[in-house]
């Protein structure tokens, strides 16, 4: 188990080629994203801003997660209203966030998603390009999301309140590997 203070000191000195997270007291290293990963995140960003122009998908924003805010995560995308992070330092409070987005394996996402839920982030979107699955997690409580809906890439994916848009995921089939 690593303390938040030790983690933040380590994260400040780490090279830009490495992304560190503190998930459930354990140090995690995120792989450097490839081109398909970047295309997926940009696609989600465009879909969100085209349908709700007051929203922005912020890339790799540092968040304090977990019920006691002892975790630190950098989701691939964090959806919030324009200006939400103005004045924040490296690690932001999860208040007033609408959704996190991660491009990862469903197997890799459970503990991180529990941290998002415990922090009260309303929606958690997971895109698993290896299996072609799209998971929408909602209704957070203090330890997990109570609802999860799975879709295949290519399906229309409705995102519930507070986002309230529908993603047509057909284009994402081009980036599944």
**Cα(50)–Cα(117) distance, integer angstroms:** 26
In a domain? residue 40: yes
Full domain range(s) for residue 116: 34-175
- Residue 110, SS3 per DSSP: helix
Residue 10 lies in a domain: no
Q: Which H or E element spans position 43?
A: helix 35-51
Q: What is the model's pTM?
A: 0.87
Distance CA 66, CA 147 (A): 18
Residue 147 CB neighbours (<10 A) = 11
Q: What is the CATH number of the domain that holds 99?
A: 3.90.1570.10
Query: Does any domain span residue 76?
Result: yes
Q: Which helix (H) or strand (E) is 4 found in, with range? A: helix 4-13
Q: How many domains does the chain have?
A: 1
CB-CB contact of 149 with 129 (8 Å): no
In this predicted model, what pLDDT tens digit does every residue of 51-93 receive, in sequence order?
Answer: 999 999 999 999 999 765 578 999 999 999 999 999 999 999 9
Q: What is the pLDDT of residue 60?
A: 92
With a CB cutoff of 8 Å and minimum separation 6, the contacts of 9 are none
Residue 78 located in a structural domain: yes
Residue 111 has pLDDT above 90, yes or no: no
Look up tokens 């924040």; give the residue. Answer: 88
Does residue 5 lie within any of the structural domains?
Answer: no
Q: Is residue 6 part of a domain?
A: no
Would strands 97-103 and 91-92 be described as parallel, antiparallel, or unpaired?
A: unpaired
């Amino acid at each position: 188990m690593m303390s938040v203070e030790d983690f933040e000191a380590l994260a400040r000195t780490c090279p830009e080629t490495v992304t560190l997270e503190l998930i459930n007291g354990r140090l995690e290293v995120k792989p450097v994203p490839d081109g398909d990963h970047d295309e997926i995140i940009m696609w989600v960003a465009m879909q969100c801003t085209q349908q709700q122009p007051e929203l922005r998908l912020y890339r790799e924003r540092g968040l304090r997660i977990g019920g006691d805010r002892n975790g630190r995560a950098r989701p691939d995308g964090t959806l919030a209203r324009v200006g939400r992070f103005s004045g924040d330092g490296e690690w932001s409070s999860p208040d007033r966030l609408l959704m996190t987005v991660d491009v990862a394996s469903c197997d890799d996402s459970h503990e991180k998603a529990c941290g998002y839920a415990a922090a009260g982030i309303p929606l958690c979107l997971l895109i698993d390009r290896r299996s072609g699955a799209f998971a929408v997690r909602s209704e957070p409580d203090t330890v997990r999301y109570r609802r999860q809906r799975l879709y295949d890439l290519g399906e229309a994916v409705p995102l519930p309140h507070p986002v309230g848009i529908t993603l047509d995921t057909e284009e994402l089939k081009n980036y599944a590997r």
